[in-house]
């Protein structure tokens, strides 16, 4: 704590008060001036000897001197200082696993306190860290113990307390330690009881733990056709808790998020991230937002695992002319990313049984019609257990009965032909893929046509099962669920006889996407074992590092399913393909540590909730108060208050006393500092145009908003004459908003609800001519088309307290469509959500749109396309987040949308003013 500020405060407050008292005192002889000055004059002129001070005044001055001496000594009170027994060495058992990463400094500070106590008692120290594979518990001095402690660091591993306790116990020999101090991370491990019983023979047992909430951990991530499901566990389950899980790509960018809610009394929770297939295919890791430990991270490698795919063809193989065989086209399409297996069995039931015994991820039936009962039962059981079955049509399937339960939809008998001699219809091209299809994002091919297909029976739910269709609306690829598995049907053949799809690149991509939806199969007996070298390892704070010296190669298959001391969590393999090993396996549960193994005499101490503090400022404040009291006494003894009226004298004494009391109060509680915008800041905002965004309190959301507006500002500077300044984050509750033409507000349901002051500030800003762009960022709503996402619900809660004008999607002739670029829609990172603006109130005589705003600018814009996510750039000008679907053209149109919005904000209805049209035409004619 700084001491200059209290002393200056005293000088500025007390001295004017004393001066005021002197002004009220009538003139006196020179010897009765201000007492300290009078004493100096008397000593200098030797005209008289000053009178002796009373004993009580001398005592007060001695107390003042004692306070100053004590302040110089700087006494410190340390509430965490712990006493230890002095009969033997001090044994320290310190948890340095993943759960200790976030408060490691508190743990080392507690250990240092114990080491200091051992040094004061002249006792040796023994140390062991529970996450280290090798410990040296040899008794050492306090100096060496501090060096070992400074060199220690948290590890991305689960503590092995039994191994550490065994090492300590063996080092004790015949002399048990006087004190065993266990600095715990608060979480239970399987062998805790055995470990603690080894150390319970000490004279004094101390367990130190941090007061913070115990961390949660991610135990599993399961990816299916519609969503990624995350499972988490926590040790404390008494109260509810709400967190956010983020999905990151290989570049560490957040590309999806979901809430993770623990109910009261529940130790486990799950979350779902519903996003298009191509987005989820880019997930590289999932982590709890705001947590900086390895347990809160789950690494993914699903996109890099090769699936085992079994092929069964209804027609015999044609080795002489392979181009006539459907199996040839399937093998060519699947071999780059899947392991193909087949069977030499003579009958279809034996062939299916031989393939399912090898536990494939996917089985493909090409033109297999009626299945024998035995084969049908075995195949149904395999699909219900989680397998993925892909079927292709052909003459046999077209002639089969429509009652087959291993089809996603009911089929009509026969096949439909296009373009034949007896048909008036032309071969049909493909229609755009629906958003819920795994093929969504692929550009619609114009050179692929289908000449023959099997037809599905019309049904109300047929559209829900359609992944791809022809231009006339008939399904081309349908899917359905059976138990835990999935069945997909291509309504055309796998060879070029019915379509040219099998000889196109789309065939490869469509099969790859369906295969990647399947579960990775388990290794079968006899598979060759590969040793994968460590590629990237997870640090204790949850980040990937390149330090792999201590890790051993991972055996695949047959290696551990969760991290061990020899195989830390991380990625094993190479950049071309790797396997993820996580800290926790599916089904693991966290629990609070049980210290009953130490016995009944154990002491528990909380660390981190109290810090050592110095008494120096308080002692100086007390000395200053005594100095002021001494001055008041000297004034009174010299008659400074005699000529004053009693009331004024009392007031004078009260003022000086209040000044004396103000100093310790000032030291005890610093007054709040209110940020005031100075003239320089105002001048900067007036000199340059700045785009602003609302600070939500969520670091990742605010970072994307800031980088998004920065990217848009740079684009505007490059494309237009406007050169905006850096974007500014604002708090509508406390800051002036009138300096900004546009405020971007990313809506987040997990962020705190804006205060009434913030909503009132935004409403005043909109009423006075400003525009707020609300972005719910939920074009891909996890709840479907008819439901409301959490972000949209939060926006509704905000707008319930604002006088919002009627809204409509941007009309075709709106100024926003031509304020700079000519636009027909307004994409962001996503495409499809309309941009809502203030609805038109009518048209004027010239046919221009008339809004309620005087300048024709809508005070509110609403979208769900995540504009900032498309605009955001890294410092090297590369995009931070991919568009969905990933399309450079969409990003360019997103930037153009931003330019049009800014120009619309700055120019109003200028572009719609038909008065300027003749002048513009005349200028163009020149």
Domain boundaries, the chain: 4-77+614-668, 90-213+594-611, 306-517, 679-916
| Tens-digit pLDDT profile for residues 637-674 | 776 666 555 665 566 666 656 655 555 444 444 433 33
- Summarize the confidence of residues 453-469 as an average pLDDT: 90
| Tens-digit pLDDT profile for residues 826-879 | 999 988 889 999 887 655 444 455 454 445 788 999 999 999 999 999 887 888
Beta strands in 29-78 (DSSP E): 76-77
| Residue 701, pLDDT above cutoff 70 | yes
Cβ contacts of residue 834 below 8 Å, gap of 6+? Answer: 809, 810, 826, 863
Task: Give the model's pLDDT for residue 660.
Answer: 54
- Summarize the confidence of residues 127-136 as an average pLDDT: 90
Of 94-103, 146-155, 308-317, 520-529, where does mean pLDDT reach its minimum? Answer: 520-529
Label residue 303 by pLDDT band (50, 70, 90).
low
Task: Give the model's pLDDT for residue 314.
Answer: 72
| Residue 772, pLDDT above cutoff 90 | yes
Pick 325 or 479 by higher pLDDT.
479
Query: Cα–Cα distance between 263 and 261 in angstroms, integer?
Result: 6
- H or E stretch at 794: helix 790-799
Query: Cα–Cα distance between 186 and 236 in angstroms, integer?
Result: 10
Pick 372 or 490 by higher pLDDT.
490
Task: Give the model's pLDDT for residue 306.
Answer: 59
Task: Give the model's pLDDT for residue 780.
Answer: 59
Which residue, 590, 552, 535, is CA-closest to 299? Answer: 535
Buried b (16+ CB within 10 A) or exposed e, 790-829: bbbebbeebbeeeeeeeeeebeeebbbbebbeebeebbbb
Using DSSP's 3-state secondary structure scheme, residue 194 falls into: helix
Query: Cα–Cα distance between 75 and 68 in angstroms, integer?
Result: 12
Q: Distance of CA 565 to CAs 164, 219, 499, Å?
A: 13, 18, 55
Domain covering 679-916: architecture: 3-Layer(aba) Sandwich (3.40)
| Tens-digit pLDDT profile for residues 21-73 | 444 444 444 444 445 445 444 444 444 444 567 888 888 888 888 888 888 87
Instruction: Find out whether 263 and 269 touch, Cβ atoms under 8 Å.
Output: yes
* Same fold yes or no, 90-213+594-611 and 306-517: yes
Whole-number CA gyration radius for the chain = 39
Task: Give the model's pLDDT for residue 920.
Answer: 58
Cβ contacts of residue 547 below 8 Å, gap of 6+? Answer: 537
Instruction: Find out whether 164 and 130 touch, Cβ atoms under 8 Å.
Output: yes
The number of beta carbons lying within 10 Å of the beta carbon of residue 134 is 8
Task: Give the model's pLDDT for residue 573.
Answer: 82
Instruction: Find out whether 828 and 897 touch, Cβ atoms under 8 Å.
Output: yes
Using DSSP's 3-state secondary structure scheme, residue 231 falls into: strand
Which is it for the CA torsion 173, 179, 185, 187, positive or negative? positive
| Top mean-pLDDT range of 300-314, 334-348, 880-894 | 880-894
Cβ contacts of residue 678 below 8 Å, gap of 6+? Answer: none
| Residue 824, pLDDT above cutoff 50 | yes
Task: Give the model's pLDDT for residue 520.
Answer: 60
Label residue 159 by pLDDT band (50, 70, 90).
very high
Give bridge partners of residue 248 from the DSSP assignment: 254, 285
| Residue 288, pLDDT above cutoff 90 | yes
Topology of the domain covering 90-213+594-611 = Rossmann fold (3.40.50)
Cβ contacts of residue 446 below 8 Å, gap of 6+? Answer: 429
Statement: the pTM of the whole predicted model exceeds 0.85:
no
Which residue, 747, 836, 831, 839, is CA-closest to 793? Answer: 747
Query: Cα–Cα distance between 864 and 839 in angstroms, integer?
Result: 18
Pick 209 or 416 by higher pLDDT.
209
Task: Give the model's pLDDT for residue 833.
Answer: 87
Buried b (16+ CB within 10 A) or exposed e, 270-303: bbbbbbbbbbbbbbbbbbbbebbbbbbbbbbbbe
- Summarize the confidence of residues 115-137 as an average pLDDT: 88
How, if at all, do strands 530-532 and 554-556 pair?
antiparallel
Domain covering 306-517: architecture: 3-Layer(aba) Sandwich (3.40)
| Residue 272, pLDDT above cutoff 70 | yes
Peptide bond into 885 cis (omega under 30): yes
| Residue 562, pLDDT above cutoff 60 | yes
Which residue, 85, 135, 74, 136, is CA-closest to 114? Answer: 85
Which residue, 231, 226, 265, is CA-closest to 245? Answer: 231
CA angle 129, 132, 137 (to 5 degrees): 50
Instruction: Find out whether 700 and 287 touch, Cβ atoms under 8 Å.
Output: no
Work out the end-to-end distance of the chain between its first and last CA atoms, rounded to an integer number of angstroms. Answer: 74
How, if at all, do strands 76-77 and 613-614 pair?
antiparallel
Per cent of the chain over pLDDT 70 is 77
Label residue 893 by pLDDT band (50, 70, 90).
very high
């Amino acid at each position: 704590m700084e001491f200059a500020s209290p002393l200056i405060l005293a000088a500025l407050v007390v001295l004017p008060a004393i001066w005021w008292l002197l002004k009220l005192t009538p003139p006196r002889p020179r010897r009765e001036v201000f007492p300290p000055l009078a004493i100096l004059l008397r000593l200098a002129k030797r005209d008289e000897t000053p009178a002796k001070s009373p004993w009580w005044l001398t005592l007060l001055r001695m107390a003042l001197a004692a306070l100053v001496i004590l302040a110089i000594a700087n006494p410190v009170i340390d509430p965490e200082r712990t006493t230890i027994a002095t009969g033997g060495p001090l044994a320290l058992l310190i948890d340095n696993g993943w759960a200790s990463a976030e408060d490691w400094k508190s743990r080392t500070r507690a250990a240092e306190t114990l080491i200091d106590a051992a040094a004061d008692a002249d006792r040796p120290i023994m140390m062991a860290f529970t996450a280290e594979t090798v410990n040296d518990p040899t008794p050492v001095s306090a100096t060496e113990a501090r060096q070992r402690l400074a060199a220690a660091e948290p590890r991305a591993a689960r503590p092995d307390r039994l191994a550490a306790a065994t090492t300590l116990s063996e080092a004790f020999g015949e002399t048990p330690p006087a004190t065993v101090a266990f600095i715990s991370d608060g979480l239970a491990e399987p062998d805790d009881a055995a470990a603690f019983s080894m150390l319970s023979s000490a004279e004094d047992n101390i367990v130190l733990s941090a007061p913070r909430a115990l961390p949660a951990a991610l135990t599993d991530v399961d990816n299916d056709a519609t969503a990624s499901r995350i499972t988490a566990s926590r040790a404390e389950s008494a109260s509810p808790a709400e967190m956010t899980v983020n999905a990151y790509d290989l570049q560490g960018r957040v590309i999806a998020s979901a809430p993770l809610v623990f109910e009261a009394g529940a130790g486990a929770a799950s979350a779902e991230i519903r996003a298009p297939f191509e987005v989820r295919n880019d997930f590289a890791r999932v982590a709890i937002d705001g947590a900086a430990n390895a347990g809160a991270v789950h690494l993914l490698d699903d996109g890099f695992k090769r699936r085992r795919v079994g092929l069964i063809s209804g027609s015999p193989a044609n080795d002489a002319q392979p181009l006539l065989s459907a199996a040839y086209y399937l093998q060519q399409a699947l071999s780059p990313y899947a392991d193909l297996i087949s069977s030499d069995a003579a009958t279809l039931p034996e062939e299916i049984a031989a393939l399912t015994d090898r536990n494939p991820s996917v089985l493909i039936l090409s033109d297999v019609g009626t299945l024998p009962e035995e084969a049908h039962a075995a195949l149904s059981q395999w699909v219900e257990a989680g397998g993925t079955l892909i079927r292709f049509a052909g003459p046999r399937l077209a002639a089969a009965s429509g009652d087959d339960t291993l089809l996603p939809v009911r089929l009509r008998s026969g096949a439909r032909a296009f373009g034949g001699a007896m048909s008036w219809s032309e071969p049909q091209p493909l229609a755009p893929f629906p958003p819920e299809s795994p093929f969504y994002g692929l550009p619609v091919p114009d050179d692929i046509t289908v000449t023959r297909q099997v037809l599905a029976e019309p049904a109300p739910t047929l559209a829900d099962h359609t992944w791809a269709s022809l231009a006339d609306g008939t399904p081309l690829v349908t899917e359905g669920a059976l138990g835990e598995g999935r069945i997909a049907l291509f309504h055309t053949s796998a060879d070029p006889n019915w379509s040219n799809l099998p000889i196109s690149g789309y065939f490869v991509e469509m099969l790859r996407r369906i295969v990647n939806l399947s579960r990775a199969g388990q290794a079968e007996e006899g598979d060759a074992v590969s040793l994968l070298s460590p590629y990237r390892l997870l640090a204790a704070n949850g980040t990937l590092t390149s330090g792999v010296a201590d890790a051993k190669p991972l055996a695949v298959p047959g290696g551990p399913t969760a991290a061990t001391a020899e195989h830390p969590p991380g990625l094993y393999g190479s950049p071309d393909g790797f396997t993820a090993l996580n800290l926790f396996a599916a089904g693991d549960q966290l629990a609070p540590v049980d210290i009953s193994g130490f016995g009944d005499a154990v002491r528990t101490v909380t660390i981190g909730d109290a810090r050592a503090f110095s008494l120096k400022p308080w002692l100086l404040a007390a000395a200053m108060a005594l100095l002021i009291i001494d001055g008041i006494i000297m004034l009174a003894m010299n008659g400074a208050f005699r000529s004053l009226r009693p009331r004024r004298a009392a007031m004078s004494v009260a003022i000086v006393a209040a000044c004396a009391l103000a100093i310790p109060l000032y030291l005890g509680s610093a007054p709040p500092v209110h940020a005031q915008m100075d003239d320089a800041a105002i001048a900067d905002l007036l000199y340059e145009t700045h785009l602003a965004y609302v600070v939500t309190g969520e670091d990742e959301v605010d970072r994307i908003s800031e980088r998004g507006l920065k990217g848009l500002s740079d684009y505007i500077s490059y494309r237009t004459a406007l050169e905006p300044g850096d974007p500014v984050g604002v708090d509508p509750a406390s800051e002036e908003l009138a300096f900004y033409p546009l405020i971007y507000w990313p809506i987040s349901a997990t962020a705190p609800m804006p205060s009434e002051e913030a909503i009132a500030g935004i409403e005043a800003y909109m009423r006075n001519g400003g525009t707020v762009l609300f972005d719910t960022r939920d074009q891909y709503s996890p709840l479907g088309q008819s439901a409301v996402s959490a972000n949209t619900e939060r926006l509704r809660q905000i707008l319930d307290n604002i006088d919002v004008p009627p809204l409509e999607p941007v009309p075709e002739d709106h100024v926003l469509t031509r304020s700079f670029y000519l636009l027909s829609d307004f994409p962001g990172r996503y495409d499809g959500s309309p941009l809502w603006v203030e609805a038109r109130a009518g048209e004027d005589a010239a046919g221009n749109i008339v809004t309620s705003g005087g300048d024709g600018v809508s005070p509110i814009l609403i979208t769900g396309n995540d504009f900032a996510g498309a605009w955001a750039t890294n410092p090297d000008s590369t995009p931070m987040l991919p568009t969905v679907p990933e399309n450079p053209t969409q990003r360019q149109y997103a930037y153009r949308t931003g330019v049009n919005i800014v120009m619309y904000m700055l120019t109003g209805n200028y572009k719609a003013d038909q008065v300027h049209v003749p002048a513009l035409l005349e200028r163009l004619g020149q």
